[in-house]
Amino acid sequence: MARNKEALLLLIDVSPSMHNLLTEVERVCSMLIEKKLIYSKSDEVGVILFGTDETNNDLTKEVGGYEHIVVLQQIKVVDEDTIETLQKLPRGTSPGDFLDAIVVGMDMLIKKFGPTNKGKKRLCLLTSAQYRIKEPYEGTKEDQIDMISAQMNANGMKLECIIVRGKLTGDANRRIMDENDLLLNRFSKKSCAKTIYVESPTSLLGAIRTRNISPVTIFRGDLELSPRMKIKVWVYKKTSEERFPRLKKYSDKAPPTDRFATHEVKVDYEYRRVDDPSKVVPPEQRIKGYRYGPQVIPISSAEWDAVKFKPERSVKLLGFTDSSNILRHYYMRDVNIFIAEPGNTRAILAVSALARAMQDMNKVAILRCVWRHGQGNVVVGVLTPNVSHRDNIPDSFYFNVLPFAEDIREFQFPSFKYLPSSCQPNAQQQKAADSLVKMLDLGSPGKEVLQPDLTPNPILERFYCFLELKSKQPDATVPLLDNTLKLITEPDPELLSQNKSFIDEFSKQFELMENIKIKKSSRRLWREKPSGSNEGEGAGDVSDAQAVESTKNESAVKVDKIGDLTPVQDFEAMMSRRDSTEWVNKAIKDMKNIIFDLVENSYEGDTYQKAVECLIAFRKGCILEQEPKQFNDFLRHLCKFCRKKDLSSFCEFLTSKQITLITKTEAVDSDATEEEARSFLVKIDHIRRSKVVGRLEATTSLPRASVLLLPIFSNSCAMDSRPHQDTSGSFFSSSSDKLQLYSYWQSSCSWRVRFALNLKRLPYEYKAVNLSKGEQFSPEFERLNPLHFVPVLVDGDLVVSDSFAILLYLEEKYPQNALLPVDAKCRAVNLQAASIVTSSMQPLHMLSVLKYIEEKVGPEERQSWAEYHIGKGFAALEKLLKDFAGRYATGDEICMADVFLAPQISVAVMRFKFDMSKFPTLCRIYEANKVLPAFQASLPERQPDASID
């Protein structure tokens, strides 16, 4: 066996007490083999089961006894067959004797390797230890443990005992378990063994050392306390971040039948000139250097070696300090452990004395370390005592690297105590926060739920499972986190359920509200001098340091009027002044005048954005200062002013930004209810639409009602505006005030409507229509849509079918969170993109069309037909949107094009396996859409009828 390779024997208890845990044991042991195939493919593994019905091992044949123990796999080099073996463990019916299993395992290791490879032979015992072990023929059980430990030490074997208990049943005998625990812990005292108790699948996953990393010293030498006082120490890494295995380049040209092909490739680099890529730069013309201003300073290898600081290899004490002086957030990099030189009694005593003295005095040591000769850098770190409580483990130190001045990043924030009282938590809020923290405490008395030693990295664990899955299924997708790993990444549902009252109270005290985005960063308040300040023109900008200092003194710049340049910043500065109560009233009065001037003096809406920013700041200030009446009266007066001055375009802009009255939930002194605030937005939109209707009536002879519905009828003739009577009691009732959506979970047309309703935050009742069962042809549904298609939207006594018509209707009736932008060009692009999806793509790959192609042409043409029309549509959309796309399809705000595009892409990829690599713009748009909560909630698999088929 090679020097660095490990031999591992898994001793697995399959007796009745383990039956409810064996599924997790199978998964964890399989994962162990998966990691070995990645990191240690030459390691050898064997499997022994005990508590089985049968008996099959060498010791039984040679000396008798050792019953109900089966050697499931002899010790051999790891391969995929081992994983399959571990995934199908039998369930035994006999009590498991772990001591006999350990002896059988030792016998196998001795016969296989003899006394060689010490320290590389490991026994891993997984048991519940709930059954009494047999009495020995001679001596006591403790004597037997001592004899086995002596043999393990002589042959260089290690033992890991993982006691898996979980939730104990009434059949468990506590006295027997305590006796077995004492015997297993005796191994830890007499041999190189350790015992771990696990109670959950998560801790079991972390308990088995699936990757055995041999410790390697980074330093062996003297810890210099003074020139004449030195202690021999060894330094190991205690923790080191486990990273993903490096993704290497391999060739796929090796014959698939050659299992031993290395697939290795050789990579050569070629350097070419930027100005003339056809010319190769030879090695003698290449230099290394640093940019220094506009020039490159060449540095030769000799100069680089000369400039490096090359201190001698050493670890020196600089002094001691109180542990409270070294803050936890200063710790850098990994943790190292200092131990006394093994076997050196004087060094062990010196380290122990020093560690205990530092602990008693609450001190830590500061060290200067150079781990190896010629090391290019010096580290300074803190040495913390680690006093052992076990007789067979000596005292040691933990070492953490500390930062230099260049390593520290300063982030300065104003203290809460300088904010107004309205921005600080009150007594009820503080109490709710305290209760939430106590409720989610992971550390019950004397026990930590997520112990680092027993908590695996869920992303790495999923990666190992995926690699094993992909080795068998090349087209497999990355699996979701399983339930065990979710316990690490997600809160415990049972814990949340038990403490729901605390969570509800916290939510109530800290109600979430929409944060309206302001394009101009509020950080300008710190960097710009307020335009309304009374300082001279040449005073210059206020620096960051001055701004922070000014916060502590309430304000270093006294603003006494709101200027035209930075009105928002001036308003905020005036509202925060506390040297007189008159400043709030003056700030409100000045801001009203500013907003009126911006709206009235606008040329084709050029100042609307700035007016809205001022209005948002004005609203926020009135909420903070409990002046809701000032804002509400002003907003009502502003709307009347716009109507009188024929400024409906500003009303439309105001509606798109969702600015409405301050309600009682935002400010207790408000006279506006939630319903009044919602109706106010509709009222503003009605002003805008009445102006549009008036203009249309002036140029057409259509009746008024026809004008209002003109955009809908121009896109779909499937709207039925007649009131419906519910005679059958199914499908439709006109008595409900809530919107009703007749939908099928797999319908992409229904999907886009669900997406839009979620974006507009419109509650609706989901009415499932099972297309696969033909429910669309029922008489009840035919009354809603004679074409027998979904979706259908019912709003009171109005029925609208066809997704495009529905979305246009929603946009008119419910203007909040508008999906069509104000800009005419951008609006046209959105409608064009929606039209491409609804007319040139989705109808051509719907189920009825594909069935027709299959019947008339052949089943082999079904996929190619769909791919052709999907590709043609995506090519047009890619060309259309590439110059308009931002984060979303037509900018940084989600619009109607996104609503049509995202479901279409998802269907193309998931249902038709369409390759989207040729359409980078569409891919980027889809990635932005699919993480939205509104999109996630509209997913087909999350609909009530998703489990029907």
Q: Give 695-731 as a DSSP string.
A: HHHHH----HHHHHHHHHHTT-S--B-S-----SSSS
Would 821 be classed as within a structural domain? yes
Q: Do 222 and 203 share a structural domain?
A: no
Q: Do 764 and 656 share a structural domain?
A: no
Q: Which amino acid is at 312?
A: E
| Residue 168 token pair | 């104990």
Q: Which amino acid is at 517?
A: K
Closest to 595 in 3D by CA, of 584, 573, 572, 611: 611
Q: Which pLDDT band holds residue 211 (cuts at 50, 70, 90)? A: low
Closest to 338 in 3D by CA, of 329, 348, 346, 330: 348
Q: What is the average pLDDT across 518-531?
A: 41
Would 291 be classed as within a structural domain? no
Q: What is the average pLDDT across 522-551?
A: 41
Q: What stretch of H or E contains 31?
A: helix 22-39
Among 146-150, 263-267, 332-336, 482-486, name the one with the lowest average pLDDT.
482-486
Q: What is the average pLDDT across 476-490?
A: 77
Q: What is the average pLDDT across 653-665?
A: 80
pLDDT at 48 (0 to 100):
94
Cβ density class 516-545: b for 16+ within 10 Å, e for less: eeeeeeeeebbeebbebbeeeeeeeebeee
Q: What is the average pLDDT across 298-317?
A: 83
Cβ pair 321, 381 in contact under 8 A: no
> Does residue 536 have a pLDDT over 50?
no
Of 407, 430, 449, the residue that ends a domain is 407
Q: What is the mean pLDDT of the chain?
A: 80
CATH number for the domain spanning 235: value is 2.40.290.10
Of 373, 407, 441, the residue that ends a domain is 407
| Residue 267 token pair | 């990579």
Question: pLDDT tens digits, residue range 27-77?
Answer: 888 888 888 887 778 888 999 999 998 999 989 888 888 899 999 999 998
Cβ pair 469, 87 in contact under 8 A: no
pTM of the model: 0.48
Higher pLDDT, 147 or 467: 147
> Does residue 352 have a pLDDT over 90?
yes
Closest to 838 in 3D by CA, of 742, 709, 749, 714: 749
pLDDT at 522 (0 to 100):
42
CATH number for the domain spanning 74: value is 3.40.50.410
Would 536 be classed as within a structural domain? no
> Does residue 360 have a pLDDT over 90?
yes
CA dist., res. 742 & res. 736, Å (int): 14
Q: Which pLDDT band holds residue 640 (cuts at 50, 70, 90)? A: confident
CA dist., res. 831 & res. 897, Å (int): 7
pLDDT at 525 (0 to 100):
39
Question: pLDDT tens digits, residue range 85-115?
Answer: 888 899 998 888 899 999 999 999 988 887 7
Cβ-Cβ contacts under 8 Å for 867 (sequence gap 6 or more): 912, 914
Counted domains in the chain: 4
Identify the top-confidence range among 461-470, 682-691, 931-940: 931-940
CATH number for the domain spanning 641: value is 1.25.40.240
Q: Which amino acid is at 693?
A: V
pLDDT at 704 (0 to 100):
30
pLDDT at 804 (0 to 100):
92
Cβ-Cβ contacts under 8 Å for 862 (sequence gap 6 or more): 850, 853, 854
Distance of CA 78 to the CA centre of its chain: 34
Q: Do 936 and 787 share a structural domain?
A: yes
Q: Do 160 and 124 share a structural domain?
A: yes
Residue written as token pair 């190896």: 372
Range of the domain at 367: 217-242+308-407
Cβ pair 118, 110 in contact under 8 A: no
Would 250 be classed as within a structural domain? no
Q: Do 133 and 108 share a structural domain?
A: yes
pLDDT at 695 (0 to 100):
42
Q: Do 784 and 637 share a structural domain?
A: no
Q: Do 221 and 168 share a structural domain?
A: no
CA dist., res. 901 & res. 801, Å (int): 19
pLDDT at 341 (0 to 100):
94
> Does residue 362 have a pLDDT over 90?
yes
Kind of pairing between the strands at 69-77 and 44-50? antiparallel
Would 448 be classed as within a structural domain? no
Q: Which pLDDT band holds residue 451 (cuts at 50, 70, 90)? A: confident
CA dist., res. 709 & res. 713, Å (int): 6
Among 225-234, 411-420, 471-480, 785-794, name the one with the lowest average pLDDT.
411-420
SS3 335: strand
Question: pLDDT tens digits, residue range 901-945?
Answer: 999 999 888 888 888 889 999 999 999 898 888 899 899 888 988
Q: Do 314 and 356 share a structural domain?
A: yes
Would 633 be classed as within a structural domain? yes
Question: pLDDT tens digits, residue range 381-408?
Answer: 999 999 988 777 899 999 999 998 888 7
> Does residue 544 have a pLDDT over 50?
no
Would 545 be classed as within a structural domain? no
Q: Do 238 and 188 share a structural domain?
A: no
Cβ pair 206, 455 in contact under 8 A: yes
> Does residue 730 have a pLDDT over 60?
no
Q: What is the average pLDDT across 277-301?
A: 85
pLDDT at 546 (0 to 100):
40
pLDDT at 4 (0 to 100):
62
CA dist., res. 448 & res. 41, Å (int): 35
Q: What is the average pLDDT across 541-566?
A: 55
pLDDT at 716 (0 to 100):
32
Kind of pairing between the strands at 7-13 and 44-50? parallel
> Does residue 717 have a pLDDT over 70?
no
CA dist., res. 940 & res. 903, Å (int): 10
Q: Do 354 and 326 share a structural domain?
A: yes
Q: Which pLDDT band holds residue 697 (cuts at 50, 70, 90)? A: very low
Of 673, 688, 703, the residue that ends a domain is 688
Could you report how far apart the first and last alpha carbons of the chain are, in Å? 56
pLDDT at 878 (0 to 100):
93
Q: Give 391-440 as a DSSP string.
A: TTS--EEEEEEE--GGG--------GGGS-GGGS--HHHHHHHHHHHHHT
Question: pLDDT tens digits, residue range 803-847?
Answer: 999 999 999 888 888 899 888 889 999 999 999 998 888 888 777
Q: Do 223 and 195 share a structural domain?
A: no
Q: Which amino acid is at 454?
A: L
Among 503-517, 745-759, 794-808, 816-830, name the one with the lowest average pLDDT.
503-517
Q: What is the average pLDDT across 872-901?
A: 91
pLDDT at 693 (0 to 100):
42
Cβ-Cβ contacts under 8 Å for 528 (sequence gap 6 or more): 541, 542, 566, 569
Q: Do 157 and 52 share a structural domain?
A: yes
Higher pLDDT, 215 or 270: 270
Question: pLDDT tens digits, residue range 170-188?
Answer: 556 788 888 888 888 888 8
Q: Which pLDDT band holds residue 5 (cuts at 50, 70, 90)? A: confident
Q: What is the average pLDDT across 854-883?
A: 86
Would 629 be classed as within a structural domain? yes
